Amino acid sequence: MFRVKICGVTRSQDVRLVVRAGADAIGFQMSMGPRKITPVQAKRLVKLVPPLVTPVGVFVNEALSSVKRLIKLCGFQVVQLHGDESAAYCQKLDVPVIKVIRMKNPSTYASFKGFRVAAFLLDSYNKNVPGGTGKGYSYSWAWKAVQKLPAPVLIAGGLTSDNVLAAISLSHAFGVDVASGVEIRPGFKDPRKVSLFVRRARKAFHD
């Protein structure tokens, strides 16, 4: 599983930017929100992703058949599920799955212990928005989830280059995921912010 993922990429120049910065994975939003792209766009962008970087399709409560179709069409190597997808749903996909847990409270993770997935991603909770809000939560909540969940735990939600070192230190997470924290505006990445975020995250993991 990857350490540093930049999510919500919508442009070819940002794919190249993220790769140059040294991120391990790039997320493409396929379901909703200001960073949503079409399957045609996703297929074109995924072709620009080099072999050692992982293209991730991000979905929210999509029909299983639709997700399977888009994996093949677009070339996603991993899927990230932000909705109410069940454990059975996750097991029916043919690529590694990252199941997102929206941390309403410190023990929210407990109901996901039965999921058999490649990794979990802890994100902030908003009843109206399933992700990409730029809002944080207490990253110390993740420490118990890291200990108890049956797969690597990544964190997201309100991360920036200013707080990523502290967030990794508090959470002991395996990896980090960021969208709004490295943007000029939704879907448009800031070169300086991306580079600084990746560099600081890698330093935190190394330390």
| DSSP annotation string for 60-117 | SS--HHHHHHHHHHHT-SEEEE-S---HHHHHT-SS-EEEEEEESSTTGGGGGTT---
The pLDDT confidence band at residue 133, using thresholds 50, 70 and 90, is low
What confidence score (pLDDT) does residue 128 get? 63
Using one digit for the tens of pLDDT, what is the confidence trace for 169-202?
999 999 999 999 999 999 999 999 999 999 999 9
**What tokens appear for 89 in the block?**
């749903």
Q: 91, exposed or middle or buried, with CB in 10 Å at 0-12, 13-18, 19+?
A: exposed
Q: How far is CA 160 from each of CA 30, 60, 82, 112, 146, rounded to the nearest angstrom?
A: 23, 24, 20, 27, 21
Using one digit for the tens of pLDDT, what is the confidence trace for 134-160?
566 788 889 999 999 999 999 999 999
Asked if 24 and 53 count as a contact pair (C-beta separation under 8 A), the reply is: yes
pTM recorded for the entire structure: 0.94
Strand stretches in the chain, DSSP E: 4-6, 25-29, 54-59, 78-81, 97-103, 119-124, 153-155, 175-178, 183-185, 188-189
**What tokens appear for 77 in the block?**
């190597």
**What tokens appear for 9 in the block?**
């990429």
> Which of 33, 36, 8, 34 has its CA nearest to residue 23?
8
**What tokens appear for 119 in the block?**
């990794």
Is 35's pLDDT higher than 90? yes
Q: What structural domains does the chain harbor?
A: 4-206 (3.20.20.70)
